[in-house]
Amino acid sequence: MSDAVYKVLVVEDDPHLAAGVVENLRAEGYEVDSVGDGRKAVEWFDTHSCDLIVLDVMLPGLDGFEVCSTLRGRGTTTPVLFLTARGDAADRIRGLEAGGDDYLAKPFHLQEFLLRVRAILRRWDWYRASARSTGSDVLKFSGNEVDFRAFRGRSWNGEIQELTEKEAMILKVLAEKPGEIVSREDLLEKVWGYDVFPSTRTVDNFILKLRKRFERDPANPSHFLTVWGVGYRFLCGDES
């Protein structure tokens, strides 16, 4: 972990588990707040902010998926680590589609949990540092414009696009290697960090969303090109 002090919100209705998670996070040097139900978690963000949400799925009020979707709908881009008693593929996909960053099934080993926390925060440090190091936080291509720090863009037809954090991160990875082939596995590793999701189809779905936002003809893309059997290639102009 870097010298920065990260703040974590733990959303867990089991008081014993919540106390253990909070205690261990604090022992690692994190600042930690904790709430016990979904509605309080959403309300917490009215007056607070944090660097990571550790979010139980089975919560009173609103479940974890609903909490994540609600926060994403309000523009909150804070990364989310889901905790759940169910670890099947369908729940993993649902958590990802709700805007989650990682998924850990209960019961879990403490060291694995702490590694996941550090990995998520490291990826977000990379994203923010990468946006700053380019000298410009804004990517422009063929009438489109994306502000990586604001998670906001404007498409070629003037429409404002509010990007999810994963859409922005995937675009950032591709834009750092213009014209080069980036595999689906590389995108999963760079953006999610773990091979915990059931299929690289996850990446394909996000590419489809980016095409709908920024391609003049999403069915015949000129920027987000598929390299069959491998991954994707990003072109800034209309060259192919």
**Domain at 7-130, CATH homologous superfamily:** Response regulator (3.40.50.2300)
Q: How far apart are CA 124 and CA 120, in angstroms?
A: 6
Q: How far apart are CA 189 and CA 110, in angstroms?
A: 22
Torsion of CA 93, 68, 33, 124, to 10 degrees: 70
The 3-state secondary structure of 186-238 reads HHHHHHCCCCCCCCCHHHHHHHHHHHHHHCCCCCCCCCEEEECCCEEEECCCC
Note the pLDDT of residue 52: 95
Decide: pTM greater than 0.75.
Answer: no
Note the pLDDT of residue 23: 95
Q: Which residues pair with 84 in a beta bridge?
A: 105
Name the residue among 190, 183, 222 with its Cα closest to residue 204. Answer: 183
Distances (CA, A) of 81 to 30, 49, 68, 179: 15, 16, 10, 33
Q: How far apart are CA 139 and CA 182, in angstroms?
A: 18
Q: Which residues pair with 53 in a beta bridge?
A: 9, 80
Q: How far apart are CA 54 and CA 40, in angstroms?
A: 14
Note the pLDDT of residue 1: 45
Per-residue pLDDT in tens (0 to 9) along the chain, 240 residues: 445 689 999 999 999 999 999 999 999 999 999 999 999 999 999 999 999 999 999 998 899 999 998 998 888 889 999 998 766 667 777 777 777 888 888 888 899 899 889 988 988 887 777 655 555 588 899 999 998 887 889 999 999 998 887 888 899 889 988 999 999 888 887 787 755 554 667 788 899 999 999 999 999 999 999 999 899 999 987 544
What amino acid is encoded at 135 in this protein? G
Q: In this structure, is the dihedral angle defined by the CA atoms of residues 137, 211, 73 and 59, taken in order, positive or negative?
A: negative
Q: How far apart are CA 224 and CA 236, in angstroms?
A: 9
Note the pLDDT of residue 2: 46
Sketch the domain layout of the chain as residue ranges. Answer: 7-130, 166-234
Note the pLDDT of residue 54: 97
Q: How far is CA 141 from the centre of its chain?
A: 23
Q: In this structure, is the dihedral angle defined by the CA atoms of residues 104, 186, 72 and 33, taken in order, positive or negative?
A: positive
Beta carbons of 204 and 197 less than 8 angstroms apart: no
Note the pLDDT of residue 207: 93
Note the pLDDT of residue 26: 96
Looking at domain 166-234, its CATH architecture is Orthogonal Bundle (1.10)
Note the pLDDT of residue 133: 55
Both structure tokens of 202: 């996850």
Note the pLDDT of residue 130: 66
Name the residue among 163, 156, 186 with its Cα closest to residue 174. Answer: 186
